[in-house]
Amino acid sequence: MTRERVAAAAGGLSACALGLVLLLYVIPVYVPAPQFDVGGAPGPQAFPRTLAWGFVILGGLDVLLVLAVGEKVVWRRPEAPGRLLAVTAMLFAALLAIPYVGMLPVGVVLMIAVTTLASGQRLLPSVLTAVLFTAAVYAIFVALAGIPLPAGSLWE
């Protein structure tokens, strides 16, 4: 089977695999059987089990159909993998920093870093956008609407 065929059947295969994992492991372990009966109403496992069987049957049918038709799919490779990696790394760093430093400082640094390092924009427009946007966010959400933002444990 070629790579393009596998890519075409990947949706059905994933559905099938999900169904099997649900039936064999997840539902027995993470959906406890009921201790009592409520007059004919299906128990807590019934609905997830039906869905799991649905995944197995429909996913299997999709794989069969894709193979029968000879459908092929070419997965598009990222044009700029370096840029994507850089943004992902910055985002992870930001997520780790937010609980300690808070949303607003991390947001400013994240915006400037992404626009300058990953997108190659000039520093001045990036800083201006980041600072003005953060000021607007603070004014609208925190001061006006009273919506809380992650504050950061370092400042407590």
Partner 1 sequence: MEHFTLVLEHLAKPELLILLPLAVLGGMIIGAIPGLTSTMAVGVLLPFTLFLDPLTGVLILVGIGKGSLFGGSISAILMNVPGTPAAACTVIDGHPLAQKGQAGRAIETALWASFIGDLMSVVALVLIAGTLAKFGQQFGPKEFFALILLSLTVIAALSQESLLRGICGGMFGLLLGVVGLDLVYATPRLTFNVDDLGDGIPFMPLLIGLFALPDIIEHYMSKARELAAQKVDRTRYSRADFRMTLPTILKGSAIGITMGAIPGIGATASTFVAYAEAKRSAPDRDEFGKGALSGVAAAESANSGTKAATLIPLLALGVPGDVITAILLGAFYFHGLTPGPLLFQNDLPFIHALYLALFCSGFCILLFGYGLKRWMTLIASVPRDLLYPPIIVLTIIGAYALSNTMFAVYTMFAFGIVGVLLRRLRIPAPTVLIGFVLSGLLEDNLRRALLISQGDVPALFQGPLAIGLHTATLIIIVAVAYRALRRSKFGRVGSPAAQE
Judged by CB under 8 A, the chain residues 58 through 87 that form the site for partner 1 are: 58-59, 61-62, 65, 68-76, 78-81, 83-84, 87
Measured distance CA(48)–CA(69) in Å, rounded: 31
Burial of 60 (0-12, 13-18, 19+ CB in 10 A): middle
Q: Does 43 participate in binding partner 1 (rule CB under 8 A)?
A: yes
- CA distances, 18 to each of 2, 7, 44, 57, 125 (Å): 23, 17, 19, 11, 46
| Nearest approach, Cβ of residue 52 and partner 1 (Å) | 8
| Cβ distance to partner 1 smaller for residue 20 or 31 | 31
Residues 119-138 that bind partner 1 (CB under 8 A): 119-121, 125-126, 129-130, 133-134, 137
| Cβ distance to partner 1 smaller for residue 30 or 155 | 30
Measured distance CA(12)–CA(18) in Å, rounded: 10
| Nearest approach, Cβ of residue 121 and partner 1 (Å) | 6
Tokens of 121: 């924009």
| Cβ distance to partner 1 smaller for residue 14 or 20 | 14
Q: Does 25 participate in binding partner 1 (rule CB under 8 A)?
A: no
Tokens of 112: 């400037």
